C-alpha cells in the first residue's frame, strides 16, 4: 500500500500543476486528468471491495471460533487463532491505508476550450494528495507484517498498536514485560529496539540513546542491531552530538556492511560532512 499511495500522491500533485499552475488547460490535458481520475477511483473501489470481503471473512471466522469455544469449553485450535489474527491484521492495514486519503470527485462535462480560457468542469482545486507513511509508520507496518506465526505475537502486536497510538509509556511497559517473560524469544531484541524507537519518536532522545544502546549490549547479533545503531546515530545528531553520530554510522559500515542500514549510513555520513 505505501508504494501505491506514493504513486497516487505524485499523480495528484502533477494533475494539480496542470490545472491550477497554468490557469488553463487544453482538451488533451483535461482528458488525461479525467482518465487518471477514473483509474484512481477504480483503485479506491477495488480497495473498498477487498475491505468488505475481508470483513465478511472475519465475521464468519469469529462466529466459527465462538461455536468452537462453546462446544469445547473454551479451547480453540492454535491455527484458527493464528488465522483470525492474520485476517484482523490485514483488515486493519487496509482500513488504515484507506483512511490516509480521499478519492477524487467525479469529473463533470468538459466543454471545448479556447486558448487562454479555463476549461469548464475541471475542479479549481484538486483533491488532497494521499499521505505517504512516515519512515516510522512504515517501519511499524513492516514489523507487524513480519510477526505472523512467531511466539508471543499477540502480546508484541498489542505493544506496537500502543506505539502507533502514541501511548509510549504504556507501550514501553508492555515491551519490558515481554522481555522479562520471554528473554530468549526471537522477538526480545525487537522489543528492546521498539522501546528505544518509541522514545525517539517522542523526541526523548536521551532515553532513546540509553535503550538503543541496550540493543547493542544484549543483542549484538540480533537482526535489529543495525537498525538500532542507525536510530542511535539519528538520536545523537538530533541533540547536536555530531561526532558521536559519525562514530556510530562508521560502526554500521564496519560491522554490518551488507545491510540496508549500511547504505543509509553512507548517505547520512555525507550529509554530516564526513
Q: Which residue has the higher pLDDT, 213 or 123?
A: 213
Shared domain for 158 and 64, answered yes or no, is no
Q: How far apart are CA 227 and CA 268, in angstroms?
A: 14
Query: Could you give the C-alpha distances from 10 to 40, 95, 158, in angstroms and in order?
Result: 12, 21, 33
50 inside domain: yes
Q: How far apart are CA 206 and CA 208, in angstroms?
A: 5
DSSP-based helix, strand, coil % in the chain, nearest 5: 70, 0, 30
Shared domain for 188 and 266, answered yes or no, is yes
**Domain range enclosing 16:** 2-99
112 inside domain: no
What pLDDT sits at residue 237? 94
pTM of the model: 0.54
DSSP 123: -
What pLDDT sits at residue 47? 62
Shared domain for 157 and 263, answered yes or no, is yes
Q: Where are the beta strands (DSSP E) in the chain?
A: none
Shared domain for 56 and 7, answered yes or no, is yes
11 inside domain: yes
Q: How many residues are recorded in the chain? A: 274
What pLDDT sits at residue 116? 46
Mean pLDDT score of the chain: 74
Shared domain for 161 and 251, answered yes or no, is yes
- How many helices and strands in the chain, by DSSP H and E? 12, 0
Q: CB of 192 within 8 A of CB of 211? A: yes
Q: How far apart are CA 235 and CA 215, in angstroms?
A: 14
Average pLDDT (174-195) is 94
The total domain count for the chain is 2
pLDDT tens profile 151-172:
777 889 999 999 999 999 999 9
What pLDDT sits at residue 104? 38
Amino acid at each position: 500500500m505505501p508504494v501505491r499511495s506514493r504513486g497516487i500522491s505524485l499523480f495528484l500533485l502533477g494533475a494539480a500543476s496542470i490545472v491550477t499552475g497554468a490557469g488553463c488547460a487544453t482538451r488533451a490535458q483535461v482528458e488525461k486528468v479525467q482518465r487518471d481520475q477514473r483509474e484512481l477511483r477504480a483503485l479506491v473501489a477495488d480497495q473498498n471491495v477487498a475491505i468488505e470481503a475481508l470483513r465478511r471473512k472475519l465475521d464468519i471466522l469469529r462466529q466459527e471460533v465462538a461455536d468452537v469455544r462453546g462446544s469445547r469449553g473454551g479451547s480453540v485450535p492454535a491455527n484458527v487463532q493464528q488465522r483470525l489474527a492474520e485476517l484482523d491484521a490485514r483488515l486493519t492495514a487496509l482500513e488504515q491505508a484507506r483512511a490516509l486519503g480521499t478519492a477524487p470527485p467525479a469529473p463533470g462535462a468538459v466543454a471545448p476550450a479556447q486558448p487562454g480560457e479555463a476549461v469548464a468542469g475541471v475542479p479549481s482545486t484538486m483533491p488532497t494528495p494521499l499521505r505517504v507513511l512516515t519512515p516510522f509508520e512504515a517501519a511499524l507496518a513492516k514489523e507487524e507484517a513480519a510477526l505472523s506465526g512467531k511466539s508471543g505475537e499477540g502480546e508484541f502486536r498489542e505493544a506496537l498498536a500502543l506505539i502507533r497510538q502514541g501511548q509510549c509509556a504504556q507501550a514501553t511497559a508492555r515491551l519490558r514485560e515481554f522481555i522479562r517473560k520471554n528473554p530468549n524469544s526471537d522477538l526480545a531484541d525487537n522489543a528492546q529496539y521498539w522501546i528505544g524507537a518509541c522514545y525517539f519518536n517522542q523526541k526523548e532522545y536521551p532515553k532513546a540513546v540509553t535503550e538503543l544502546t541496550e540493543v547493542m549490549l544484549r543483542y549484538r547479533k540480533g537482526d535489529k542491531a543495525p537498525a538500532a545503531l542507525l536510530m542511535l546515530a539519528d538520536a545523537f545528531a538530533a541533540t547536536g552530538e555530531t561526532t558521536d553520530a559519525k562514530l556510530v554510522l562508521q560502526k554500521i559500515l564496519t560491522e554490518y556492511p551488507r545491510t540496508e542500514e549500511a547504505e543509509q549510513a553512507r548517505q547520512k555520513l555525507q550529509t554530516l560532512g564526513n
